[in-house]
Structure 1
Amino acid sequence: MQDSPLSDIRIGQVTAQWAKAQKISSQYFPKIDSTNLKAKTEAFSEEAFNEHLILYVTDHQTAGRGRGQNTWSDAGSGSQLLSTWSFMLEQALHPTAAPMMGLALYRAAVATWPFLEWNLKAPNDLYIGNKKVAGLLLESLSQGSDHRLLVGLGLNVISSPENVSTATSLVHELPESVPLLAEDWIAFLERLVFEMSFSLQLAHEAMNSTSTQALLHALNKHPLLKEQYTALDQNGNLSTPSKQISWMEL
């Protein structure tokens, strides 16, 4: 990646090439309405049953989604990772699966660029300092005894939408002496797959004490947090000194 001007890089295309090299089933689209919608349509197709993981990735979404009625702003230039990671599951997920996937993203980012001020904002937004750099949208699907989890990930890599003042990008936050290297991006993707797959192995039961403390640590690092989180129960409810908050209602 460092051999080409950043303006010529298409993060979706680069990521799809990595997936192909790793023999991960993937579909790349220069432009699509929504990778999540595409993944949902094909979740239980004949081809999908043979794949534990399918990656859908694009350089431009015309109808990207966020949580609830929110949308994901797309810079439209291939400067973001716009993706959906579709996992086949052996059983339905525990309520704490959602925070586990946010923790997986956080751990992958910290492992790759440990010198940046990574933190999480509940429910599943990844920040550098006080600026949002990524967001997750999780959807679980069932058809009889078959289950899939769709993990929609939007990550501002080279740039962020100009009309969103609270957003930033990875390249913008990297020190001038630390360019975005191809090997670092590949290391991040490989660590992300590992962390998400590991989290899914634990996602059929309540979070263990180590994961719980790691998640609370990442959440409490968020500089805009008004009140520290003190606990996360087995149903995914966060506690502060003054109240209890359902993860699913955030």
Structure 2
Amino acid sequence: MNIGKFKLIVFDKLDSTNSEAMKMAQNANVDSNYAVLAKSQTNGRGRSGKNWQSRSGNLHVSLLIKPDKELELLPQLSFVMALSVYDSITSLCHSHSSICHSRFRGNDIRNENNIIQLKWPNDVLINSRKIAGILLESVKVENNYYLIIGIGINITYHPDNIDQPTTSLISENLPPIEPQALLEILIENFEEYYQIWHNHGFPFIKKKWLEHAYKLYENISVKYQNDIVTGLFKDIDNTGRIILQLPSKKIISFSTAELFFNKNITKFKL
């Protein structure tokens, strides 16, 4: 079965959809895009090697693609996918107007009770709680680079054993949806944003992402190596690094750090 330009492969259970996609890239002559979907995932990977277990009812999928762009540009696809997830979730509000009355307020999409935002660099939040995460991994096979984009979206269940608050579509009174149906919406959005990124570069993606950025223009604290730096979350640069303005007005950027949001620490590495 195909969804858009992706060949869909469905498993009842996997340890990790990213691991399965990695095996496919290493063991076969991959001549097309693949979407590896698991009904349940027992050992999914997050950033910094964190485990992410999820039962049936949530979306666990990895997209295997072979981009024809420079390797250093590929981290930008984390932002491309974040926008795709954002649009996919908000489309549930638009198509169920009796439940979700969406409207613009500043730079956030909201329904009656929900605020949906993007947390740098790879999370989607509802009401400051994580509902989705993205993990990019690359693999070189012979002279070819493949990119694996892992996506997890909490639909019916959310884990409570990670280092930040989590939620699900059901918990936020958003419409229930089958994982494969949500995947079809997600791939449609991703292919649209990917085409924009491929043809026109990062500027539009960056601008769009910043419109929905969590804690933008607020003071945050960053732990970098052995130092803790506090500054204004001012921007992201054209490589996706976060830009802070210090109280001295000096501008600095980070690609590897620990961010403190409401006393929660999220580790990441671009």
Task: Pick the TM interval, shorter chain.
Answer: 0.7 to 0.9
Task: Tell me, yes or no, if structure 1 residue 198 matches structure 2 residue 198.
Answer: no
Aligned residue for 2:254?
246
3-state SS of paired residue (1:36): helix
Asked whether the 8 Å contact 1:137–1:153 carries over to 2, the reply is: yes
* Letter aligned with residue 62 of structure 2: T
Which of 142, 145, 156 lines up with 1:147 in the alignment? 145
Q: Does the aligned pair in 2 maintain the 1:97–1:203 contact within 8 Å?
A: no
Q: CA 1:195 to 1:22, structure 2 compared with 1: closer, same or farther past 3 Å?
A: closer
RMSD: 3.1
Match runs of 1:140-219 below 5 Å: 140-164=138-162, 166-174=165-173, 179-181=175-177, 186=181, 188-201=182-195, 202-203=197-198, 206-208=201-203, 210-219=204-213
> Kindly tell me: are residues 61 and 189 of structure 1, through their superposed partners in 2, closer, same or farther at Cα, counting changes over 3 Å?
closer
The CA deviation at 1:204 is 8.1
**Residues 158 and 171 in structure 1, CA contact (< 8 A), matched pair in contact too:** yes
Aligned mates of 2:121, 2:200 — CA distance in 1 = 19
- Deviation string for 1:22-77 (max 9, x for gaps)? 6842222212221111110111544522x1x2111112222211001211132x3x
Q: Specify whether residues 147 and 205 from structure 1 end up closer, same or farther in structure 2 by C-alpha distance, changes over 3 A only.
A: farther
| Cα separation, partners in 2 of 1:235 and 1:24, compared to 1, 3 Å | closer
**Retained in 2: the 8 A contact 1:216–1:229?**
no
Query: TM-score normalized by structure 1?
Result: 0.75
Report the TM-score, using the length of structure 2 for normalisation.
0.70
1:5-28 Cα distance to aligned partner (Å, 9 max, x none): xxxxxxxxxxxxxx5576842222
More strand by share: 2
Unaligned runs of 5+ in 2: 94-101, 103-110, 221-230, 258-267
- Seen in structure 2, the aligned counterparts of structure 1 residues 146 and 61 have a Cα distance that, compared at 3 Å, is same
Percentage of identical aligned residues = 24
Is residue 61 of structure 1 aligned with residue 60 of structure 2?
A: no
Do residues 80 (structure 1) and 58 (structure 2) align? yes
How far is 1:166 from its partner?
1.1
Q: Please give the secondary structure, in 2, of the residue aligned with 1:68.
A: helix
Name the CA distance, whole Å, in 1 between partners of 2:255 and 2:169: 27
The alpha-carbon deviation at position 203 of structure 1 amounts to 4.9
Distance 1:190 1:225 in 2: 37
For 1:222-245, what per-residue CA distance to the aligned partner results, in whole angstroms no more than 9, with x for missing partners?
Answer: 8x9736532222222221322533
Alignment match, 2:82: 102
Distance change >3 Å, CA 143–CA 22, structure 1 → 2:
closer
Provide the C-alpha distance between the structure 2 equivalents of 1:180 and 1:169, rounded to a whole number of angstroms: 10
Provide the residue aligned with 2:105 in structure 1.
none
Cα contact 1:122–1:219 (8 A) shared by 2: yes
